[in-house]
Amino acid sequence: MTNDNFLHTDAPAEIEIAGSESRCSYLPRQSATMVYRLAIRLSATRYDALLSRGWRRFGRTLFRPVCSGCQACQSLRVIVPEFQPSKSHRRTLRKNSDVEVLIQRPTVTDEHLELYNSYHLDMHYRRQWPFRRINHDQYYESFLDGNFSFSREFQYRQNGRLIGLGIVDITDTAMSSIYFVHDPEYRDSALGTFSVLCELQEGMRSNRNRLYMGYYIQDCPSMNYKNRYLPYEILQEYVCDSQEPDWQRHS
C-alpha cells in the first residue's frame, strides 16, 4: 500500500507520463496509446474538470487515449436529471427488486476478491479476456489507493450475499462509474444494467447532473451498451486543461 506521507510535500498535484503504443484491449486489430497522470493530490473540483475533458481514474492513476489515427473511444456521460428508464430498464429493476444496495467508502475484503476473480475468470472463458488472479494489494492499488474523499463503492447483496460491486466516484456535481463486477451465477439478472440504473437513481436523489460512463466504443461488445441511457452527451475531442470541452447531446 502507498504511504501517504509524501502528500504533505511540495510535489505537483499531478505528474504526467506518456504511454507507449501497445495492442488495443478493445479492438483487436488496432493499437492504442494512452497518456497517464499520477494524482498526488486530487480535489473533487479538480477531478470534475478532468472528467469533463475525458480523463478516467483507477486508484491514483488518471488516463485517457491519445491514439494516432483512431477516435473509436468516445467519452460518454448521461444527463442525470433528464434520464427516463425504458421498458427494458423497468423490467430489470423489477427483476432485481429484492437486491439490497449499500453505498459506502471503498474497502477490500476476501469477499471482494472472490467476487472480482470469479467475474474475471468467467469473462476469460466467455470473451477471452486475459485472466490474472488479483490479490489484496493489487485490488487496493487499482481501486482504493489515494483514499480520495469522493470515492464510493456500491454493494449489491441478495439475502446478505455479495453478488455485485461497483466503484463510483461522487463529486459535488457529478458521478463517474469506474468499474463493476458481478457473480457469474447472476448473469441472467442483468446486474450490469441494474447497477447503472441504481447509480442514476442515486444521482437523481442527490442532485448530481452527469454520470460519466467512461468510453463508448461502437464496435466493442463490452463497451457499446452505454448509449442505451438517454439523453447522453459525447465529448467531441480531448482538449488540454486550458481549453473548454465540447460535449454534443444525443436524445
pLDDT at 117 over 60: yes
Question: Lowest mean pLDDT: which of 5-9, 19-23, 99-103, 239-243?
Answer: 5-9
Q: CB count, 10 Å around CB of 55?
A: 22
Total domain count, the chain: 1
Residue 191, domain member (yes or no): yes
CATH code of the domain covering residue 211 = 3.40.630.30
pLDDT tens for each residue of 136-166: 999 999 999 998 999 999 999 999 999 999 9
Check residue 37 and give its pLDDT.
96
How do beta strands 74-79 and 161-170 pair?
unpaired
At 221, is the pLDDT very low, low, confident or very high (cuts 50, 70, 90)?
A: confident
Q: Which domain does 150 fall in, by range?
A: 75-250
**Residue 69: pLDDT band with limits 50, 70, 90:** confident
Q: Is the pLDDT of residue 11 over 70?
A: no
Q: What is the pLDDT of residue 24?
A: 86
In this predicted structure, what is the pLDDT of residue 25? 83
Distance, in Å, from the CA atom of 153 to the CA atom of 134, rounded to the nearest integer, reads 18
pLDDT of 8 above 50: no
What's the pLDDT score for residue 107? 97
pLDDT above 90 covers what percent of the chain?
80
Cβ–Cβ under 8 Å, residues 239 and 55: no
Asked if residue 160 belongs to a domain, the reply is: yes
Confirm whether 4 is domain-assigned.
no
Residue 213 lies in a domain: yes
Which neighbouring-strand residues pair with 32? 22
Q: How far is CA 22 from the centre of its chain?
A: 22
